[in-house]
Chain A
Amino acid sequence: MSGQDDVAAVLPPSLPPRPWPWEHGRWRGLVFQFVVLAAVVGVVVWMGSNAWGELKNFGFSFLGNTAGFEISFKLIDYDRAGTYLDVLIVGLLNTLLVAALGIVLATVLGFVVGIARLSPNWIVSRLATAYVEFVRNVPLLLWILFFYLALIPTLPVAKQAVSLGDWLFLTNRGLFIPKLHWGETAWMVLVAFIAAIIGAIATTRWARRRQLATGKRPPDLLIGIALVVGLPVLAFFAAGMPVSLEYPELKGFNFKGGLALQPELFALVLALTIYTATYIAEIVRSGIEGVSKGQSEAASALGLSRGQRLRLVVIPQAMRIIIPPLTSQYLNLTKNSSLATAIAYPDVVAVFAGTALAKEGREIEILGITALIYLTLSLVTSLVMNLYNRRIQLTER
């Protein structure tokens, strides 16, 4: 009798019944994860068995075969005697070029428009809003085609090229500019250039330290410019002038020599830029709005102008909110650049996963490599942006 009372005294009056394992949040999570994993494995195995027939002669030796086709735009030397590996590299460089140009330009435009949307000037903010709403609601592919098909008819034919001396020619075949011709010893110039950049960075750091220590800053900008210009020039002469310029020249249908920047490149970069900039503008706007009002009020109490407030106080704090979604816009832009095929810009999808695939038929290998390339590009972009993000996070006080 007393024993029972003891027990009752020890137990809290209303202990809830012990939950079953599957009622436990963590357990349920685990079970779901397991089910999803099993499903994914199942699908992969199923697809794998479907692909098995095609996998019998799986291999990458075809990359060494001669491709036998031309590519209209290339940053490195390539002709139809090149291999599929060369095709892959040419296409990849073309993709990287478009992505890099697009990212830089879209970021600039996106920041300008995003800030303009918050402008106290009614017309400026309305214009920015109209731009965002209009451009974003038309599919990207249409913008690409629009710029392309609208651009070309406005350009002159080769024989009536618009020119700037012997240097620049604008025709409907593209913008022709002189090309750098790299000789045997040209690597010395490149090495000198890289060394100069490293030197310039070191100088700036040293200058900053001196400024903190002595209050006077040595002329690091001048020294830096002198290094970056001077060192390669010195190397250029020391190496026996290995770099020369190749000028474009009209021959028959078209200009020969020089570097031709095609209308396809312009149209693609333009479309990617104005389209992605609308998303970046929205990200910038919400990033700025995410910084507490007190910050800019305090800044204006200190007598800072609107520009100074934005540049010195608000944007540095807004960056922390902006960076993560900005990264995913960069990834989107890179992936969207594969719409290039629509206007015959030879990106990696067009020449490698397109022409090479049609010719060689190595579906699994070619699509696998292409997917891996985009995955790597995405991971590298994310990594760089995360590093940058971490750096600016640390400045928080």
Chain B
Amino acid sequence: MKTAIIAVTLTAAAALGGVAAAESATLKEVKARGYLKCGVSDGLTGFSNPDSQGNWSGIDVDVCRAVAAAIFDDPNAVRYTSTTAKERFTALTKGEFDILSRNTTITMQRDAGLGMEFTGVTYYDGQGFIVKTDSGVASVNDLNGATVCTQTGTTTELNVADYFGAHGMTYQILAFEKESEALSAYDSGRCDTYTTDQSGLFAAKLELADANAHTILPEIISKEPLGPAVRQGDDAWEDLVRWTFYAMVNAEEMGVTSQNVDEMLKSPSPEIRRLLGVEGDFGTQIGLTNDWAVRVIRKVGNYGEIFERNVGMGSQLKIPRGKNALWNQGGLQYAPPIH
């Protein structure tokens, strides 16, 4: 049914001469509904975490807020749904939400085999381990024979198998459905180590009773590029989500912030003028108005702002920019130009 609508829309668009961008079925649905549906975690500080009033915050949440700002000029026009690591992909492909933004690692299997498309890397991460400081474990190589706690349905679970296998180390794995139980089991001594994305370890440390009694090991055993995903089959929606994020990264690179965006509208720089829709016809190509990025930056901020606010120095986590610095500052964040 949905595919039929898309097919008809596509044919209609092609008949019109291919100039008009194919209208996104998802965008139409979102507009008619009046809010965006966003799949997030159960609660992971810095990425997607509800406060006591049920207001969500985090980098992953800001990705959804940015898309809502681009569409509705209202970053709060979002409904969040918690989803476990194991269920998240099925939930997305079966249409429970429009965007999955849940510290999800981009892998070939997920991209090519599970009917979804990733729209960019919002956080470059890698898998690490946390141990009790008094265990005397100083390196991952000391973990031979250890019992490892983690979460089921994650890349984490599979990386452990790879790493310990490749290094001829034995291990016992306990894979829990929820992070909270995995962490409790580790805390109560059932496991020698808890492993997940390193950002998740920083967050976990805040949750443990005595943060100073735990040490994050220096090794990173995997690449975990985290990013939002959308369902396969609605290319126009994929473009909208992708370029909303790119707009935030480009804004940081050009020095456009939530504070100065209104002044920047008067900037003579052609690339800033294109970003902010003063020049060119970019917003309409993704089914929005040309000043879409102005709404995103004004209401949510540029990439640097959301990083610092959620996981960086402005947050409890205090994670340095590291690999997530812009490409021209020694990092990997690099957004294609708006041209």
Contacts and interface: CB of A to CB of B under 8 A. Distances in A.
Nearest to B164: A70
B145 A69 contact: no
Give the interface residue-count category, chain B: 35 or more
B188 interface: yes
A70 B161 contact: yes
Give the interface residue-count category, chain A: 35 or more
Interface in A251-275: 251-254, 256, 263-264
Contacts of B157: 69, 355, 358
A70 B172 contact: yes
B230 interface: no
A350 B152 contact: yes
Most buried by B among A149, A264, A358: A358
Contacts of A359: 109, 158
Contact of B175 (A68, A80, A149, A350): A350
A72 B174 contact: yes
Contacts of A152: 185, 188-190
Interface string B138-174: 0000001111010011100110111011000001111
A264 B190 CA distance: 10
Interface of A: 53-54, 68-72, 80, 145, 148-149, 152-153, 157, 172-173, 251-254, 256, 263-264, 341-344, 346, 350, 354-355, 357-359, 361, 363
B296 to A, nearest CB: 33
Contact of A172 (B172, B176, B190): B190
B90 A363 contact: yes
A342 B176 contact: yes
Given A68-B162, A69-B161, A344-B185, A173 B174 contact: no
Given A264-B174, A342-B177, A358-B158, A253 B86 contact: no
Nearest to B233: A53
Most buried by A among B110, B115, B149, B189: B189
Contacts of B149: 344
B188 A70 contact: no
Contact of A253 (B145, B176, B178, B190): B145
A71 to B, nearest CB: 8
Contact of B152 (A53, A80, A172, A358): A358
A359 B156 CA distance: 11
A153 B186 CA distance: 11
B165 A80 contact: yes
B159 to A, nearest CB: 10
B181 interface: yes
Contacts of A342: 176-178, 181
B171 A354 contact: no
Given A344-B149, A354-B175, A80 B161 contact: yes
Contacts of B146: 253-254
B118 to A, nearest CB: 15
A361 B113 contact: yes
A72 B144 contact: no
